């Protein structure tokens, strides 16, 4: 990346000037809106007054000596928190006022809940035709299972991911982070940006966006689905192995694991030289990638001693000397001590009023002119209620009335 890209010339993000009304909770919605906030949008997070986003109470762990949930802090930076009780008509009226001037609305209530409250897309677009309204759910807004509850582990299972994750002949394993939620959150961000662009290029009209966790997981099956369609055989669990490339997997070392990606025929001779197995390059069983895949058991048996006799650092260094793609399996401490992670600005921190300095991953989006970064700490519950409502014309007597009826 050029020096210009490393140091954006603008102090604002590409979405500066856009307002996002965030009525989502837990992970899929907050992850989406955090990305929009990283890009410069003003994200107004609407939380219920009695406890707020459920993840505020998901602890341990908390950050330092505070009561701030590490989970909540991980996906709620760059937002302002407003407390609104949407179970009250007064709270819903305030929400309609906020939605009338928003560019984007994101919600992940159970399908139909927002419409029951009179806060569905059909009603809100009447006062705000340019609104991009994104609904996130487990199964989507139509189909026979639209009303079912959904959680990430269920979606990893139902969408097929757990059928291909884990060791061969072992039990199914969920991916270590909630990839069904995070994946759907990324698709939602992509869809919202596309709808905003279409609005800009078109007649200024917004539209409804419907993203589901199940759809996202099915989309992520990608080449595994293609393999199934091509052969009729359902892929199984292979540990770290790849179904169509070999060697492309983790090998156990004396003190850990080294991951090798021998992803082309050009790499194979270098790999053989690196592991002191030049004879393998002349072995007909391993002449091509297809041959190596067919005879992977024999190949693994020939390669495993090299790694077992060495530490991870020794094995990785040896393979890198021969320009073979290789990596240790890093834990979180290794990741956030990684020089490339630091160079790319992916280890960030922000001051928090109760938790002190909060460390977090940075934004992976980099621009030559605009900036994507952390400008606001994850908000305290209701920290910005008065600030936001006053900006929308609410005066002290209005705020008092809303407090009296339990709306804020």
Burial class (CB in 10 A: 0-12, 13-18, 19+), 396: exposed
Query: Is 242 part of any domain?
Result: no
> Of 297, 328, 359, which marks where a domain is finished?
328
Instruction: Tell the residue number behind the tokens 């039990």, with chain if given.
Output: 171
Residue 175 and residue 48 in one domain: yes
State residue 1's pLDDT score: 29
Residue 46 and residue 118 in one domain: yes
Query: Is 80 part of any domain?
Result: yes
Query: Is 240 part of any domain?
Result: no
| pLDDT surpasses 80 at 3 | no
State residue 6's pLDDT score: 60
Mean per-residue pLDDT, 163-189: 96
Query: Is 232 part of any domain?
Result: no
Residue 114 and residue 214 in one domain: yes
Q: How far apart are CA 132 and CA 218, in angstroms?
A: 25
Residue 154 and residue 186 in one domain: yes
3-state secondary structure of 191: helix
Residue % of the chain over a pLDDT of 90: 95
User: How is 51-104 classified by DSSP, letter by letter?
Assistant: T-SGGGG--S-BSTTS--BHHHHHT--SEEEEE--TTSHHHHHHHHHHHHT-SE
Q: How far apart are CA 297 and CA 267, in angstroms?
A: 20
pLDDT digits (tens, 9 = 90+) for 95-118: 999 999 999 999 999 999 999 999
State residue 157's pLDDT score: 97
Side-chain half-sphere exposure of 126, counting CA atoms within 13 A: 6
Residue 293 and residue 395 in one domain: no
Residue 317 and residue 354 in one domain: no
Q: At what angle do helices 222-231 and 213-220 cross, to 10 degrees?
A: 60
- pTM comes to 0.93
Residue 58 and residue 14 in one domain: yes
> Of 279, 307, 328, which marks where a domain is finished?
328
Query: Is 86 part of any domain?
Result: yes
pLDDT digits (tens, 9 = 90+) for 330-341: 999 999 999 999
pLDDT digits (tens, 9 = 90+) for 14-65: 999 999 999 999 999 999 999 999 999 999 999 999 999 999 999 999 998 8
Structural domain span for residue 85 = 3-220+340-404
Count of domains forming the chain: 2
Residue 276 and residue 344 in one domain: no
Query: At 315, which CATH number?
Result: 3.30.1540.10
Which has the higher per-residue pLDDT, 3 or 143? Answer: 143
Residue 323 and residue 344 in one domain: no
Residue 177 and residue 320 in one domain: no
Q: Closest by alpha carbon to 262, among 251, 252, 254?
A: 251
pLDDT digits (tens, 9 = 90+) for 221-242: 999 999 999 999 999 999 999 9
| pLDDT surpasses 50 at 150 | yes
Query: Is 214 part of any domain?
Result: yes
Query: At 45, which CATH number?
Result: 3.40.50.10540
| pLDDT surpasses 70 at 4 | no
State residue 8's pLDDT score: 77
Q: How far apart are CA 354 and CA 357, in angstroms?
A: 9
Q: Is 181 a catalytic residue?
A: yes
Residue 138 and residue 19 in one domain: yes
How does the average pLDDT of the chain come out, rounded?
A: 95
Residue 373 and residue 278 in one domain: no
Query: Is 234 part of any domain?
Result: no
Q: Which of 97, 181, 334, 398 is an active site residue?
A: 181
């Amino acid at each position: 990346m050029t020096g210009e890209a490393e140091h954006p010339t603008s102090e604002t993000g590409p979405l500066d000037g856009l307002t996002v009304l965030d009525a989502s909770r837990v992970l899929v919605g907050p992850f989406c809106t955090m990305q929009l906030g990283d890009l410069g949008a003003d994200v107004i997070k609407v939380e219920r007054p009695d406890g707020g986003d459920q993840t505020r109470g998901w602890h341990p762990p908390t950050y330092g000596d505070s009561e701030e949930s590490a989970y909540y802090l991980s996906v709620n930076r760059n937002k302002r928190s407003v407390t609104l009780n949407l179970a009250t008509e007064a709270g819903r009226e305030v929400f309609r006022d906020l939605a009338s001037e928003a560019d984007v609305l994101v919600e992940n209530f159970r399908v139909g809940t927002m419409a029951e409250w009179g806060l569905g897309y059909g009603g809100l677009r009447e006062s705000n035709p340019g609104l991009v309204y994104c609904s996130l759910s487990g199964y989507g807004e139509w189909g026979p299972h639209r009303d079912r509850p959904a959680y990430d582990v269920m979606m990893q299972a139902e969408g097929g991911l757990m059928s291909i994750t884990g060791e061969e002949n072992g039990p199914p394993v969920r991916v270590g982070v909630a990839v069904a939620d995070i994946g759907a959150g990324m698709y939602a961000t992509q869809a919202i940006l596309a709808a905003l662009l279409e609005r800009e290029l078109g007649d200024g009209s917004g539209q409804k966006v419907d993203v589901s966790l199940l759809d996202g997981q099915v989309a992520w099956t990608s080449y595994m689905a293609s393999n199934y369609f091509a052969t009729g055989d359902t892929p199984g669990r292979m540990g770290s192995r790849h179904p169509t490339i070999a060697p492309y997997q983790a090998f156990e070392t004396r003190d850990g694991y080294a991951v090798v990606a021998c992803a082309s025929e050009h790499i194979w001779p270098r790999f053989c030289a690196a592991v002191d197995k030049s004879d393998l390059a002349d072995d007909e069983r391993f002449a091509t990638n297809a041959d190596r895949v067919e005879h992977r058991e024999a190949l693994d048996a020939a390669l495993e001693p090299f790694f077992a006799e060495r530490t991870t650092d020794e094995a990785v260094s040896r393979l890198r000397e021969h320009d073979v793609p290789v990596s240790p399996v890093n834990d979180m401490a290794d990741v956030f001590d990684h020089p490339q992670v630091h160079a790319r600005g992916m280890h960030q921190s922000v001051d928090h009023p109760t938790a002190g300095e909060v460390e977090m991953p940075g934004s992976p989006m980099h621009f030559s002119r605009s900036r994507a970064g952390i400008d606001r700490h994850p908000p305290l519950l209701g920290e910005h209620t008065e600030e936001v409502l006053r900006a929308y014309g609410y005066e002290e007597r209005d705020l008092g009335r809303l407090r009296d009826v339990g709306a804020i």
